[in-house]
Amino acid sequence: MGDFISRCVASRRYRAGGSDALLQFAKEQAREFHVALRQMVDASEPGETLLVPLRMTPVKGWSSNSLTLMGDAVHLMPPTGSHGGNNALRDAALLGRALQEAAQGAIPVGDALARYQQEMLAYSSREVRAALRMLRLSLTRNPLIRVPLLKVLPVLHPVFQGSD
């Protein structure tokens, strides 16, 4: 299996067109990016370019003694800041602990699910809002925000990764 790199250029301005037009639009949007990010977008192929609408769906809650949800099924969010994947893992760990308590007879399954749902909804609603804030920041035209996001942070990224 070969390498896989996902590239994302977020914009509120793209309206319509095929994959060629979408890729050209992404290249135009990336012209202000750090050279390394521009090269990634420039290396893209039209056939590998797709428009993916970004959505978020915070959920208020539900009741069930035998069914629950986790990850994007309950707190869909834009892919900014790795909030979605991290929350799905957190959900799995929390649900696993709750079900383990029920399996050991400490609490009924319905109570374990209710506790999981209550705790999960508390942190996930904060994370949905944080992902949306990051998305809005990435879409800003304000140069005081865009320059650090697109030109400074990519240069600093290897510094924070440490040496391998």
The predicted-structure confidence for 131-142, as pLDDT tens digits, reads as follows: 888 777 777 777
pTM given for the model: 0.61
Structure token digits, residue 18 = 């095929």
pLDDT at 109: 93
User: Which residue ranges of the chain lie beneath pLDDT 50?
Assistant: 1, 160, 162-164
SS (H, E, C) 73-92: HCCECCCCCCHHHHHHHHHH
Cα 74 to Cα 64: distance, rounded to the nearest angstrom: 14
pLDDT at 55: 66
pLDDT at 114: 92
The answer to whether the CB of 7 falls within 8 A of the CB of 44 is: yes
Q: What is the CA radius of gyration of the chain?
A: 20
How far from 59 is each of 44, 79, 140, CA to CA, in Å?
Answer: 36, 18, 27
Cα 75 to Cα 125: distance, rounded to the nearest angstrom: 7
pLDDT at 164: 42
pLDDT at 157: 60
pLDDT at 34: 75
The answer to whether the CB of 118 falls within 8 A of the CB of 98 is: no
pLDDT at 31: 80
Q: Where are the domains of the chain?
A: 1-53, 55-164
pLDDT at 24: 84
Structure token digits, residue 65 = 């003694």
